[in-house]
Structure 1
């Protein structure tokens, strides 16, 4: 804690994410669906029916509007609803590098809006089991290091045989190298690298297309 009421993390790490999902700004996380008031020229806009999303996981009204996370069997739906948007909602999809990812989440919302399941995320937007396990091991390693564990102790979680290694054998073994890489990755994530996880599935260098008349 930095001071009373402040925390080094955007979400209290003591609270499981499946219990209280974090709230992210729409410009940071492409899964957040931005809803703003529709232009007055649109006459047949249907109000945003909040009652149809009773299964809320997290909701908070801030100065910029309502931030909402709704439960869905295939993964949560996330919204930012600007002031006045509930009466005349319009969805914003900026033409940025994440626009196709945003569009997919909007489609999930529209399916849910019309009474159908939101549907699963495509494989391109879901981390693999290998990556999930790798990140979990990295965070476990850096947590253990901060608690006073040695590199050998961290390596010993996966292979207790390292405790019997001596001298040069331990110095050059793969288990030690793996533990050191896990700690390095964990330190990177804790230092802010975790934000890159929000960009999973978004191309790093999208090609820009020119439109000719």
Structure 2
């Protein structure tokens, strides 16, 4: 059974995924928007795609792109996961993660000084958050602000 054609269009700010159920000439396009907790975000994406087909997409809706801080933090967490997941990464300590990724100019030594430092606590939080994203937390990122809201 043929399920149509799937396309991905990209501009400088977003990716648009399009599923054409039929490619018969003269059949008008229609948007199908799921009515779930992300209906508002899905609607904004459909409106933006419609503008993209016509006059240009305009700015993306709020929540489509991470802020500069969020992008830097997410990049850091990816680097942490890469370090921990690489072959031989089982012996990587939180001090190694801090020294190699988070605090490249780290002057805190090992032992008691490291164990009581704020750098260690921040490093442990970032490692835990990175692992949480890897184990399914990334879905909330993909959902945008609506996906990070607690539902009633």
Q: Report the TM-score range of the alignment, normalised by the length of the smaller protein.
A: 0.7 to 0.9
Corresponding residue of 1:52 = none
Q: What's the Cα RMSD here?
A: 2.6
1:125 aligns to what SS in structure 2? coil
CA distance in 1, matches of 2:75, 2:19: 29
Corresponding residue of 2:76 = 137
1:63 is displaced (CA, Å) by: 5.8
Structure 2 gap ranges (5+): none
* Correspondence 1:155 to 2:94: no
- Give TM-score scaled by structure 1 length: 0.58
Q: Over residues 33-92 of structure 1, what are the superposed CA-to-partner deviations in whole Å (9 max), with x where a residue is unaligned?
A: xxxxxxxxxxxxxxxxxxxxxxxxxxxxx9643332102233222223334687342211
CA contact (8 A) 1:74 1:118 kept: no
More strand by share: 1
Q: Give the aligned length.
A: 145
CA distance in 2, matches of 1:139, 1:180: 14
- Give TM-score scaled by structure 2 length: 0.78
Q: Over residues 148-197 of structure 1, what are the superposed CA-to-partner deviations in whole Å (9 max), with x where a residue is unaligned?
A: 23211110133345465132111111111222112111211222221221
Q: 1:106 to 1:178 in 2, by over 3 A?
A: same
1:110 is displaced (CA, Å) by: 1.6
* Correspondence 1:104 to 2:47: no
Corresponding residue of 2:143 = 199
Q: 1:108 to 1:85 in 2, by over 3 A?
A: farther
CA distance in 1, matches of 2:118, 2:3: 51
Matches within 5 A, 1:1-213: 64-83=3-22, 87-114=27-54, 116-147=55-86, 148=89, 149-157=92-100, 158-160=102-104, 162=106, 165-202=109-146, 204-205=149-150
Structure 1 gap ranges (5+): 1-61, 208-213
CA distance in 1, matches of 2:96, 2:128: 16
